[in-house]
Structure 1
């Protein structure tokens, strides 16, 4: 960086300073066929300026909201920095957001301009429902058919070429840390989304804070996987990476992660726990299927099989597995970063032991987003790490985690009552329950509002149970319930590939019941009786974004699951033993 972060007045100024420092250096890479194509910093900066100038030509002013609704791409990053450079406010929205939530957001933030992925996104609502004139709607691709009047993002650049460059520089110079930068609507698991207001200083101070624990350095390459509309990805792989001189490679989509890692050769991958869970299951499965003496050597060396371990066998097994895994993941991987949901401690310990550490952190949109993180050189599996050094954090008497500091939000857009509830004398009430250990590491136990209170008055954190269940290779998803019940119940979606491999292509229902019962009991074996899942039912399909039971960052929406499968849950809650046909076990 040309200057330390604390001297940077705004996000746009920081990006352009980085580009000016090394104009011929690589700043971003995108997949083209079977390889990645690089973009130089000077070209990236020029496009930011042209698009920002185009927005000025449209008449956008400081504080005007711009709704950005598109898939991950370098184009998305350029557009975000263009908006921020002129003092306008980016409102990022997932491209697959439901029509009901989208309509609410449009009414709440009243955007002055819409930047959409394509005309299929625009066609999801009637033209009048968008509430904005067609000349202020731009598509990443050109409009077609009945939407041919809509212009493209490239047209916005051409519009910017007509602006005097001095006007852009004047506007950029007027943007300060206190300026509102973005309104991020929390996808949430209940109720209407709330618009979290973050200013330039909030985001810059958060980057400064997490750098103490997660070393991001110029020239490193990070693979961007998660939706850029999510504050975790945007704060780390986007703002953090671009301002600190890293190279950002874009995964084509989450499903192609392993293929994209092999082609992009990243040193850092930032993702949610589900990604590491799937990688762990795949690696473990390959090891268990390995035949002959090599298989025994590897499994015993990694503690996956009982038996005598010879001197040096452990180190040899680790080296053989890690060398092959690194090659498959691009050859340069140094570490992972995990956030957005709890990571199973056993998975964190497994990769740490292999020499591929997962830096687990904790945060929320309202904190820009990182609150705590494990230092790379002092990872404690099962913990989310220490509070960032530029934040104050404490655990209240009722166990709720409270935090305050320069990265805490300005408040909720158009929602003073929710702001007053969340912020008290500068302290953000996170709604999460946790505890600090003797070394100052934070452990999250559950969401305050998600705690199950059973018929016996026991407080049970469902996420702890769910995390254990989903760590089992035979269970892909699990959602636990039990309020006012004498026992816990669960809705389970199996890992059907493994079930079929074990029981055949058309297993009997009772066979599936017995198999999953064994794995559920084993996963929870050391927990007290009131934390055991006594009854469960199979979900007919996996929770997903389309039906609203999963957020874009793969978090379960508990209320939506309960509503969608109310009849199934009712069958589990009956005192009588379920009949074979109701799939409750």
Structure 2
């Protein structure tokens, strides 16, 4: 039985002792290669000794600015083993943002992927040491990572000087900066115990084990990936495989065949959109079989959602086996075929997408957290997922609601405080309760549903409160919508800036004979606007009329980190978006000044709520933009498919040789019994 580790390095060391020859990490150099736990430990020890020779020791602040890879993990554990403090920095930040973090965190050394990553950084005076992970020619002013490892090997025999055994759970491990949606990032101080307790709590709901292989692609500078996809696999003795890049994740899934991944909702939205797109483009028979399979999956989920061991009718089990054979197994094969744990965090996952993955046999475990809580606060138990919620609070985590619905948290994983910002700490942690800044709802079973960030909710001039995040995330489930930002604070109605998924839109335009085929043409195309209007009407029909955008503008360019419109964790910075698109926003409201509804009126027929305008747009779209004979998936035509499937199942069961032999034996036994009686 594994003993609870007393620090993060001891956590790794225990598995080095348990699984010395087991593969700990994998990465790609032409093909995927690996490193065992014992080899990994030797590299960490050597690099730690190399850092020690530079004067890095207890309390030193060492930044890591690099893409995910084996040297990131080695650097992190080497720094922690010296009692030093690792300060992860997003590789996507601007030079000024990087310099600010280094200055305010009192960083004295930095480990970078290569010099090109930080060419625009003006180094604060306190940064005395710069180490480059990669690059044949190390630039002047940098030390080579590999050379430090070689130098450190010379001191490997002096194990007593390493000293990681003296580090305790209460010691500071890392300073992780918040994403900064509303201001300058703050450095959350997390101890070894904060992170360890969070992992130990997570394992109660998400049973990761030493046989799991995790594909790592979210940035390790994000505490979600660092805890769930970096430290947690090392806690249980699993294997971490590093993706080459976000763009290569689909290919790497097939190469690695992982059993677990941690991701933000966008990946699951993309998979969902592609599957639905491929299904819609298939023959009428394939569409019917696909929709029948989803119906069977949904019926099975109604039983499995009741809890582990809840009985499933024999008929549903048989139909589920056939649906899996005909449809779902092929979908799973495109993700490697072995995925059993899919964890989503960082933003709300649309309930429809959660249900879809459950129906195809790949349930997504959605959780919620924040940097200040190391980071996970709540999570859906794998055996009791409730779509549309972020699950229950983790064990040992207390939650409460403030008068305005803000979630308050008390847990052993709550941070020590913000580095050198006692006033901000006092505002955030009051009487031991962490004020999350998130407005939530809780049901009778303790499941939490996130409404939105407290600071994100805006008030219309009509007095209505609007939470933009649920609307934005729902819009992004469309295969034609990549990004969405709602506008409306202190205005009479909601509008939206929409970034289409141009790959899907261009493909659709070509297939349907549109003259508009470039981004610029599509952004100003009436057919494209009609299509997006239809999508908005379809997706938002369950939202209140005042929450639905009355006007929208299609943008040619994506929101980006470089333009300051997104945080490093891809959350929207609305203030910057409103600055960058002030003209487009003004036009959406100036064009409607004379037709704005009064506070006491329902929105007029210009809203996307299934009105005559939408009906006309659908008619236009149907007559002008769709191919003759094109088919759409209609869930009402399942009956004959279900009957066919049942007949196939019945035939397979009845004409199975073993079944026929059993029937024959039964008949003979019956005759003998009758004769003897």
Structure 1 residues 71-90: aligned runs within 5 Å: 71-90=67-86
Alignment root-mean-square deviation, CA: 2.1
Count matched residues: 567
| Alignment-derived partner of residue 26 in structure 1 | 23
Q: Counterparts of 1:33-72 in structure 2 under 5 Å?
A: 33=30, 35-72=31-68
Aligned to 2:133: 140
Give CA-to-partner distance per residue, 1:98-157, whole Å, 9 cap, x none: 12211211110121211111010232234x546433xx2110024748x24522111111
Q: CA deviation at 1:248?
A: 0.5
2:570 to 544, 554, 557: 554
Q: Does 1:9 align with 2:1?
A: no
Q: Out of 193, 205, 210, which is 1:201 matched to? A: 193
- Between stretches 354-363 and 318-327, larger displacement belongs to 318-327
Residues 119 and 144 in structure 1, CA contact (< 8 A), matched pair in contact too: no
Question: What residue in structure 2 maps to residue 419 of structure 1?
Answer: 425
Alignment of 1:291-302 (within 5 A): 291-302=283-294
Match of 1:101? 97
CA spacing shift, 1:537–1:57, aligned 2, 3 Å: same
SS of the residue corresponding to residue 177 of structure 1 reads coil
After superposition, the Cα gap between the structure-2 partners of 1:359 and 1:287, relative to the gap in structure 1 and judged at 3 Å, is same
Mean Cα displacement is larger for which, 109-118 or 411-420?
109-118
Structure 1 residues 398-413: aligned runs within 5 Å: 398-413=404-419
In 1: Cα distance, 2:550 partner to 2:538 partner: 13
Write the distance in 1 (CA, Å) between the matches of 2:6 and 2:578: 46
Query: Does 2:109 align with 1:113?
Result: yes
Structure 2 residue 505 is matched with structure 1 residue 499? yes
Give the ranges of 4+ consecutive aligned residues of structure 1 lying more than 4 Å apart after TM superposition.
128-131, 167-170, 310-315
Secondary structure of 1:255's counterpart equals: coil
Alignment correspondent of 1:212: 204
Secondary structure in 2 aligned to 1:464?
helix
Question: Any gaps of 5 or more consecutive residues in structure 1?
Answer: 305-309, 579-584
1:490 is the counterpart of 2:496:
yes
SS at structure 2 position matched to 1:111: coil
For normalisation by structure 1, the TM-score amounts to 0.93
Distance 1:526 1:187 in 2: 31
Q: Does 1:532 align with 2:528?
A: no
Q: What SS is found at the alignment partner of 1:270?
A: strand
- Contact conserved, 2:90 with 2:219, CA < 8 A, in 1? yes
**Aligned equivalents of 2:103 and 2:397: distance in 1?**
34
Alignment deviations for residues 199-256 of structure 1 (CA, whole Å, 9 cap, x no partner):
0000000001111100011121111110011000000110111121011111111111
Is the 1:52–1:168 contact (alpha carbons within 8 Å) kept by the matching residues of 2? no
Match of 2:333 among 323, 327, 333: 327
8 Å contact 1:143–1:151 — kept in the other structure? Answer: no
SS at match of 2:103: helix
Q: Render the CA deviation track for 1:138-194: whole Å, top value 9, x for unaligned.
A: 10024748x245221111112222336446555212211111000001122121110
Output the CA distance in 2 between the equivalents of 1:322 and 1:372.
29
Q: Distance in 1 between matches of 2:160 and 2:264?
A: 38
The alpha-carbon deviation at position 483 of structure 1 amounts to 0.7
Partner of 1:568: 584
1:164-203 alignment runs, 5 A limit: 165-166=157-158, 170-203=162-195
The answer (yes or no) to whether the contact 2:9–2:164 under 8 Å persists in 1 is yes
Question: Is the contact made by 1:19 and 1:45 (CA closer than 8 Å) also made in structure 2?
Answer: yes
- Whole-Å Cα distance in 2 between the matches of residues 498 and 55 of structure 1? 49
The 5 A counterparts of 1:154-165 are 154-163=146-155, 165=157
Give the corresponding residue for 1:542: 558
Aligned residues of 2:279 and 2:286 also touching (Cα < 8 A):
no
Aligned residue in 2 for 1:517: 533
Answer yes or no: is the 8 Å Cα contact 2:81–2:162 preserved in 1.
Answer: no
Moved more, 326-335 or 464-473: 326-335
The structure that has the greater radius of gyration is 2
| Distance in 2, Cα, partners of 1:373 & 1:356 | 17
Q: Look up the SS of the partner of 2:248 in the other structure.
A: helix
Q: Are the counterparts in 1 of residues 96 and 121 from structure 2 also a CA contact under 8 Å?
A: no
Spell out the pairing of 1:71-470 with structure 2 (5 A cutoff): 71-126=67-122, 128-129=123-124, 131-133=126-128, 136-142=129-135, 144=137, 147-163=139-155, 165-166=157-158, 170-303=162-295, 315-470=321-476
CA distance in 2, matches of 1:553, 1:105: 16
Unaligned runs of 5+ residues in structure 2 are 297-314, 517-521, 595-607, 609-677
8 Å CA contact retained: 1:142, 1:151: no
Alpha-carbon distance, 1:418 to partner: 0.6
- Provide the rounded CA distance (Å) in 1 between the counterparts of 2:157 and 2:106: 28
Q: Distance in 2 between matches of 1:168 and 1:287?
A: 62
Could you tell me whether the CA contact under 8 Å between 1:392 and 1:405 is conserved in 2?
Answer: yes
**Correspondence for 1:582:** none
User: How far 1:425 sits from its partner (Å)?
Assistant: 1.0
Distance apart, 1:317 and its partner CA: 2.9
Within 2, Cα distance between the matches of 1:64 and 1:495? 45
- Shift of the 421–193 alpha-carbon distance from structure 1 to 2, 3 Å rule, reads same
Q: State the Cα deviation string for residues 459-512 of structure 1 (Å, max 9, x = none).
A: 110001111111122211110011111100100011223333444251562222
The whole-number CA distance in structure 2 between the counterparts of 1:409 and 1:577 is 48
Show CA shifts across 1:513-551 (max 9, x none): 222112112211122221111011112201122222223
